Amino acid sequence: MKLDEFGLIRNLTSRVPTTGRHVVVGPTDDAAVLSIEPGEQVLVSTDTMVGGAHFLPETMAPFDIGYKAVAASISDIAAMGGEPRQVLVALGIPSDLEPVFLEALYDGVCDICSYFDCAVVGGDVVRTDGPLFVNTTVLGATSRPPLLRSGAKPGDVVFVTGQIGSSGAGLDFLLHPKLLIDPADGAVLKERHQRPKPQVTAGQILSLEGASSCDDISDGLASELNEIASASGVRLRIETARIPVHVAARNLGRLQGKDPLDYAWYGGEDYQLVGTASPFAFARILARAESMQIQVTQIGRVMQGDGVVAEFPDGTLDVITAKGYNHFPG
Ligand SMILES: Nc1ncnc2c1ncn2[C@@H]1O[C@H](COP(=O)(O)OP(=O)(O)OP(=O)(O)O)[C@@H](O)[C@H]1O
Ligand SMILES: Cc1ncc(C[n+]2csc(CCOP(=O)(O)O)c2C)c(N)n1
Ligand SMILES: [Mg+2]
Ligand SMILES: [Mg+2]
Ligand SMILES: [Mg+2]
């Protein structure tokens, strides 16, 4: 690194929006000072991405790393039904990393922050002898009851937004570029892995129309469904034929002789939302989502009991365990 710590911070913060309607003091002091509107509650969440575990040179360009780190954090605010507002970015920087790498990473931060009208109000830089890591904290707000994992009730519909499995399939393709694939599918899958779109508008529709629970898909559908089932004390019964697996992921799976459903269950990093709603609330959610061209698909029902059970097209049932992405597998 050529710049000293303070020069580096100045250089990076000059590349991103640092002010906003709720920012009183931005990244210039010991702490940021933020305001919220009367009747709002603050939402805050943090996530870390680290070289090797979350990205490799062949899977993510520097821009993608900055973009996706912030996207993953904003996705947690989306899952609560809130509005993301401010972001803090802490970097662990290997000493041989070129400044242009960090500038490109910050261009990715800028891209997604600008899209969601978020300000970067702080962060940290440290040197590390290990791989690059990026910790992102996002602050948001909501004036509605936040969407929790614990509200699913027997009789509710289980739903998912968008199409899933495409990020995991994209990773598979990026790690094995010689896999047979249609070039158009390859381009879509790469994009879905590198630049996921947090479902902020969908989350706000879900909270406005009274969804009973919600979670974002970071570790995989199997993992997130199990989180909702266990937090709510219910069983989720999923009809596998209804799961909206992205067509490019289906195609890649078929060409590899793999079950494309596995990309949806266990691939993770789709950053779509999965949740539950009473049949009445679900009808309202569907109507409002459709009017905004947002796909919401019923994939199952909430029952009494525990765990997640999949029903296959031939009528057979199987328990789906939470074996998605796990940093510390047992
Ligand atoms: N080191 C920690 N100290 C305190 N709380 C933690 C710690 N790590 C995780 N948590 C909390 O545990 C809960 C579950 O964390 P988890 O990381 O599974 O959520 P997530 O961010 O939605 O998932 P993902 O990390 O896959 O994006 C969150 O409320 C999180 O804040
Ligand atoms: C090189 C490479 N190997 C594996 C993966 C897959 N991956 C890493 S973390 C994670 C879950 C979400 O992270 P977290 O739980 O930390 O929020 C997933 C699915 C990847 N992206 N890159
Ligand atoms: Mg998260
Ligand atoms: Mg987390
Ligand atoms: Mg989450």
Q: Is residue 147 part of a domain?
A: no
Tell me, what's the pLDDT at 328?
77
Q: Report the distance separating Cα 262 and Cα 258, nearest Å.
A: 8
CA dist., res. 121 & res. 20, Å (int): 9
Residue 135 domain flag? yes
* The pLDDT of residue 3 is above 70: no
Ligand 2 contact via 55 beta carbon (within 6 Å): yes
Q: 45 and 185 share a domain?
A: no
Q: What is the pLDDT of residue 5?
A: 85
The predicted pLDDT at position 326 comes to 77
Q: Given a cut of 90, is residue 137 above it in pLDDT?
A: yes
Are 20 and 135 in a shared domain?
yes
**Based on the domain organization, do 162 and 136 belong to the same domain?**
no
Mean pLDDT of 1-8: 75
Length in residues, the chain: 330
Residue 274, pLDDT above cutoff 90: yes
Pairing of β 133-142 and β 157-161: unpaired
330 within a domain of the structure (yes/no): no
pLDDT, residue 179, reads 81
Q: Give the pLDDT mean for 177-205.
A: 94
Are 173 and 111 within one domain?
no
Residues 43 and 133 in one domain: yes
Q: Is 106 labeled as ligand-binding?
A: yes
Domain count of the chain? Answer: 2
**Residue for token digits 């009730």?**
153
- d(CA 74, ligand 1 centre) in Å: 14
Ligand 1 close to Cβ of residue 219 (< 6 A): yes
User: Average pLDDT over the chain, rounded to whole?
Assistant: 96
Query: Is 47 inside a domain boundary?
Result: yes
pLDDT tens track for 50-72: 999 999 999 999 999 999 999 99
**Secondary structure letter of residue 175 according to DSSP:** H
Residue 93, amino acid: I
Q: What is the pLDDT of residues 86-124, one digit of tens each?
A: 999 999 999 999 999 999 999 999 999 999 999 999 999
Residues 247, 252, 253, 255, CA torsion sign: positive
**Which residues does residue 93 pair with via DSSP β-bridges, in sequence order?**
127
172 and 135 within one domain: no
Output the CA 139–ligand 1 centroid distance in Å: 15
**Inside any domain, residue 30:** yes
CA 74 from centre of chain: 7
Say if CB 107 and CB 151 are below 8 A apart.
no
Residue 268 Cα: closest atom of ligand 1: 26
**Residue 45 known to bind ligand:** yes
CA 222 to chain centroid: 15
pLDDT of residue 178: 81
Name the CA dihedral angle for 149, 150, 152, 158, rounded to a multiple of 10 degrees: 20
14 and 116 together in one domain: yes
Q: What are phi and psi of 157, to 5 degrees?
A: -85, 140
Residue 211 resides in a domain: yes
Domain span holding position 179: 157-319
Q: Are residues 172 and 138 in the same domain?
A: no
What ipTM goes with this model? 0.94
207 Cα: distance to centroid of ligand 5 (angstroms): 16
What value does the mean pLDDT take over residues 256-283? Answer: 96
Give the CATH number for residue 36: 3.30.1330.10
For ligand 2, whether the C-beta of 54 sits within 6 Å is yes
Final residue of a domain: which of 87, 108, 142?
142
pLDDT over 60 at 126, yes or no: yes
Report whether pLDDT(2) > 60. Answer: no
Of 142, 173, 204, the domain-final residue: 142
The CATH number given to whatever domain includes residue 231 is 3.90.650.10
Closest atom of ligand 1 to 216 CA is 22
The residue that leads in pLDDT, 139 or 257, is 139
pLDDT exceeds cutoff 90 at 181: no
Shared domain check, 76 and 213: no
**Percentage of residues in the chain having pLDDT higher than 90:** 92
